[in-house]
Amino acid sequence: MTSSDLSTIPRPGVAPGPLHRSVCAQLRAHQAAVAGVHMRELFAADPRRFERFSLQVGDLLLDYSKNRITEETMALLVRLAEEADVAGWRDRMFGGEKINTTENRAVLHVALRNRSNAPVMVDGEDVMPRVNAVIDRMGVFAEKVRSGEWRGYSGKRITDVVNIGIGGSDLGPQMVYQALKPYRHPHLKVHFISNVDGAHVKEALEALDPGTTLFVVSSKTFTTQETMTNANHARAWFLAQSQAVEHVARHFVAVSANREAVAAFGIDPAGMFEMWDWVGGRYSLWSAIGLSIVLAVGAERFVELLAGAHAMDTHFRTAPLAQNMPVILALLGVWYNNFFGAESHAILPYDHYLRSLPAYLEQADMESNGKSVDRDGHAVDYATGQIIWGATGINGQHAFYQLLHQGTRLIPADFIVSVTPHTELQAHHDILIANFLAQTEALMRGRTLEETRAQTGQASPFKVFDGNHPSNAILLQQITPHTLGMLLALYEHKIFVQGVIWNLDSYDQWGVELGKQLASRILPELHAPAPVGGHDASTNALINYYRRMSQRHPKM
Query: What is the Cα–Cα distance from 387 to 344, expressed in whole angstroms?
Result: 4
Query: What is the Cα–Cα distance from 391 to 351, expressed in whole angstroms?
Result: 10
Smallest separation, CB 273 to ligand G6Q (Å): 13
Q: Which of 7, 5, 15 is nearest to 35 (CA)?
A: 5
Nearer to ligand G6Q, 220 or 235 (CB): 220
DSSP for 329-348 reads HHHHHHIIIIIS---EEEEE
Smallest separation, CB 169 to ligand G6Q (Å): 4
260 is known as an active-site residue: no
Catalytic, out of 206, 398, 424, 555: 398
Nearer to ligand G6Q, 397 or 509 (CB): 509
516 is known as an active-site residue: yes
Query: What is the Cα–Cα distance from 486 to 503, expressed in whole angstroms?
Result: 25
Catalytic, out of 144, 187, 516, 527: 516
Is residue 69 within 8 Å of 76, Cβ to Cβ?
A: no
Nearer to ligand G6Q, 31 or 224 (CB): 224
Q: Is 155 left (phi over 0), alpha (psi -120 to 50) or beta?
A: left
Nearer to ligand G6Q, 78 or 164 (CB): 164
Which residues fall within 8 angstroms of residue 272, CB to CB, at 6 or more apart?
253, 254, 255, 256, 259, 262
Residue 216: CA count within 13 A, CB half-sphere: 33
Smallest separation, CB 225 to ligand G6Q (Å): 9
Nearer to ligand G6Q, 367 or 381 (CB): 367
Query: What is the Cα–Cα distance from 69 to 49, expressed in whole angstroms?
Result: 10
CA 489 to chain centre: 10
Is residue 273 within 8 Å of 216, Cβ to Cβ?
A: no
* Amino acid (one-letter) located at 311: A
Catalytic, out of 226, 274, 304, 367: 367
Smallest separation, CB 527 to ligand G6Q (Å): 26
Nearer to ligand G6Q, 163 or 224 (CB): 224
Smallest separation, CB 166 to ligand G6Q (Å): 5
Is residue 141 within 8 Å of 316, Cβ to Cβ?
A: no
Residues belonging to the chain: 556
| Binding residues vs ligand G6Q (CB under 6 A) | 166-169, 219-221, 224, 227, 280-282, 367, 509
Smallest separation, CB 253 to ligand G6Q (Å): 15
CA 51 to chain centre: 29
367 is known as an active-site residue: yes
Smallest separation, CB 332 to ligand G6Q (Å): 25
Nearer to ligand G6Q, 221 or 344 (CB): 221
Nearer to ligand G6Q, 280 or 396 (CB): 280
Smallest separation, CB 291 to ligand G6Q (Å): 13
Query: What is the Cα–Cα distance from 61 to 55, expressed in whole angstroms?
Result: 6
Beta bridge partners of 349: 416
CB neighbour class for 464 (10 Å; exposed up to 12, middle 13-18, buried from 19): middle
Smallest separation, CB 387 to ligand G6Q (Å): 18
Smallest separation, CB 199 to ligand G6Q (Å): 20
Beta bridge partners of 94: none
Q: What are phi and psi of 388, to 5 degrees?
A: -100, 130
Nearer to ligand G6Q, 172 or 412 (CB): 172
Nearer to ligand G6Q, 7 or 163 (CB): 163
Query: What is the Cα–Cα distance from 24 to 339, expressed in whole angstroms?
Result: 9
Query: What is the Cα–Cα distance from 264 to 248, expressed in whole angstroms?
Result: 13
Is residue 499 within 8 Å of 506, Cβ to Cβ?
A: yes
Q: What are phi and psi of 127, to 5 degrees?
A: -85, -10
Query: What is the Cα–Cα distance from 531 to 405, expressed in whole angstroms?
Result: 51
DSSP for 163-215 reads EE--GGGTHHHHHHHHHTGGGS-TT-EEEEE---SHHHHHHHHHT--GGGEEE
Which residue numbers are catalytic? 367, 398, 516
